[in-house]
Structure 1
């Protein structure tokens, strides 16, 4: 840990933001855990559970793009507060319906759509608000802390959700209400602390520019164009999408293969717990690594670890061997994510950060549903080896792209992000600011 790292935890606005974002994240983690299980219990039909998940993903993707535009138009902390309040209302309705015994396939689908829509519309504002309350020289450590929080939620969400669900589906809803309420109160306190206008920097940046009629598609295109004109950021975004697809397809293939080999679901659970613990340890180390190692080098190391792990999976089939490979693959993911997302936040103009973040998020989320499809169809049609080789090829492509890109490879450690980003800066047009 660097000597300056404690400064982050003295930043009350960041602590309020983190509390709000953690409450929102816990609510979504619990619901994501509960919905497929409730759907299976109620309908006894895995296809219907898949329909709910697919519809929710589509709604989340579309809403996130819209949310990115809204985050650059409006006061971001106010949107955080409204989004958390909407989460309280939806979770409250779910709790009441569960207590009344009215949960069925249609109601689960409706709640999935509502919560996915709320998350997509309001989450980009929360992510963009971080740029307005955390200084650029501390952004890497803030993102690393966020990664640690996310890893802890991922590791604890399943056991907590399982205990609540075993006692009654309504308890999931009650926990979501409490989590969303904490999120709303913390966001409101943040607005009171820094001023509701603080995260309206996009409006301030636009005030000196000619007013243009608002057009969501044009505004979104401006964000996409700006992102892909930046060789450092565009390459990193594409690399992240490709490695997400290859790594998750490879991991899913290895897990499915262990299950097909006759090992129990409990064994799979322990394997995933081991990899989750490895990611949590990596997340705890991320605040130490991000200020000391160049972001570009961290990305290269992470890409190499992912590629090597999937390569090892071609030859290793035992449950604990697979668990070790998955753990090695995910260990550097938190530091990699923190470094690139922190640099992205520093490099992106405030007037565009909502849209740029939402585009990156959609590309990442869009790759995730394809991974189980690659694993499932690959195992059924070609077998374990060829499916893993295909996943390995995707990882290798991402690694080669990262190594070959000097703008990406040369991104420095946290202290040099502002200066490094300035060499690629372009003026923000009136359309992009509005």
Structure 2
């Protein structure tokens, strides 16, 4: 008996929320462990460079990994779609594990030269360019469309946990056993994530949800719908053709194209101020390192609350308008931080910005993944991630130079205005304004009734 026939024979089953789905929780655990490993690796790399090189060389080592990550990110999306996200995720995670453990063994014998650390950063960045798009394309393959907002919220929580746990763990390992121990801890964390990823089950492309099967009158219709879905993408050509095809798909898609534009504009406007600008603002106001820590903690706490809210709620009505509204709040708050006179007010504003941008980012990712054709998920994810890890950091030197000339306040306001242009892009697009996250129908409810309620 086929899977579709079995589903019809057994009848519709009650949907399971993502936060109670063991398969999703295994993926979340693997993803969290891997992100903590990333944080420990960066601590080990930075301190290893600091011990053997001057400030300029330390900057070179830390920036080296960003270059291949930016250059190869789109190619990583092509690889995920051509060879399968599972194969790319497992393979790249295994390579990262072997690479870091080999460096840990080498560092235990002798102090690393600067060129060794640069080579490590370049290699790690290249492998990361494969891993990031593939792991980002996994959520639609492990849960239903109605659960993507919840899973994206869980993913944001995972990122916050790694940012809190990773650096102290890396620092502890450095204090106890030096760079070798820190690299070894990172490699072991990657090793732990591998068996967890192996146990994650992926939904076949084009297979309808069990609740949808209840509305199909004939088993042949189920198979036919799946065949149509699988046939929605063109036959694969060369890798270059696949890359161009993915870019055309993003550009022509009435929802994904505008959402990518919204993300790119807002990241370009806000990322520099929230990173480089915040350090310079604290120096200008005399709040010092502790003040910077409080502001960053406020932002992280707000973003965590936003992720928790969406994880619990599962969806927000009028998702496109909610995205635009929270982005506007985030841009306004980021502009105002440099205008407030006291540290407590700056921390409060940072928490507000974190909350707004946490909700906005989660909604944007969930809408993009819900709307993407499965055959293009890797390439779409790579374009979205390129905006965040490849293009947005290009604003860092510009923001730093501008603050050096004009001071923090006008630059923060100007960057907030640039980021708010993303709100205009969202509101101009009818597809974004009317975008909704899917709502799962209760078992047995007719499709027409579910649509009317949505």
Q: TM-score, normalised by structure 2?
A: 0.82
**Quick one: distance in 2 between partners of 1:207 and 1:331?**
38
Q: Give the CA deviation at 1:324.
A: 2.0
Distance 1:368 1:289, change over 3 A: farther
Please state how far the C-alpha of 1:185 moved relative to its aligned partner: 0.8
Distance in 1, matches of 2:187 and 2:422, equals: 40
* Residue number in structure 2 paired with 1:20: 30
Kindly indicate whether residue 269 of structure 2 is the aligned counterpart of residue 246 of structure 1.
yes
SS in 2 for 1:231: coil
1:343 touches 1:414 (CA, 8 Å); kept in 2?
no
Distance 1:5 1:259, change over 3 A: farther
Matching of residue 94 in structure 1 with residue 89 in structure 2: no
CA distance in 2, matches of 1:271, 1:250: 12
Residues 115 and 337 of structure 1: is their aligned pair in 2 closer, same or farther, counting only changes over 3 Å? same
CA distance in 2, matches of 1:376, 1:199: 46
Pairing 1:183-332 to 2, within 5 Å after superposition: 183-190=193-200, 193=201, 198=204, 214-251=237-274, 252-332=276-356
Q: Distance in 2 between matches of 1:205 and 1:158?
A: 48
Do the aligned partners of residues 299 and 259 (structure 1) sit closer, same or farther apart at CA in structure 2, a change above 3 Å counting?
same
Larger Rg: 2
SS at match of 1:412: coil
Deviation track 1:119-140 (CA, whole Å, cap 9, x = no partner) reads 1113322222332221112122
Aligned to 1:135: 144
- Provide the TM-score with structure 1 as the length reference: 0.86
For 1:411, the equivalent position in structure 2 comes to 435
Distance 2:290 2:171 in 1: 14
How far apart are residue 315 of structure 1 and its match?
A: 1.8
Gaps of 5+ in 2: 1-13, 208-226, 442-446, 448-454
Distance 2:328 2:236 in 1: 46
Over residues 232-285 of structure 1, what are the superposed CA-to-partner deviations in whole Å (9 max), with x where a residue is unaligned?
221111111111121222323243121233333233223322322222222212
What displacement does 1:48 show?
A: 1.7
User: Displacement, 1:208?
Assistant: 5.8
CA distance in 1, matches of 2:235, 2:305: 48
1:159 to 160, 168, 183: 168
Structure 1 residue 18: deviation in Å? Answer: 1.9
CA distance in 2, matches of 1:341, 1:54: 26
- Judge conservation of contact 1:77–1:199 (CA < 8 Å) in 2: no
Listed one character per residue, the Cα deviations across residues 83-109 of structure 1 (whole Å, up to 9, x for unaligned) are: 221121011012112212332311111
Of stretches 23-32 and 408-417 in structure 1, the one that deviates more from structure 2 is 408-417
How far, CA to CA, are the matches of 1:44 and 1:110 in structure 2?
Answer: 17
For this pair of structures, how many residues does the alignment match?
409
Is the contact between residue 154 and residue 276 of structure 1 (CA under 8 Å) also seen in structure 2?
Answer: no
TM-aligned CA deviation for residue 334 of structure 1: 2.5
**1:333 & 1:6 partners in 2: Cα distance?**
28
Tell me, in whole angstroms, the C-alpha distance in 1 between the residues paired with 2:235 and 2:260: 29
Aligned partners of 1:69 and 1:216 also within 8 Å:
yes
Contact preservation (8 Å) 1:241, 1:363: yes
- For 1:103, the equivalent position in structure 2 comes to 112
Farther off after superposition, 319-328 or 87-96: 319-328
**What is the distance in 1 between the residues matched to 2:47 and 2:317?**
42
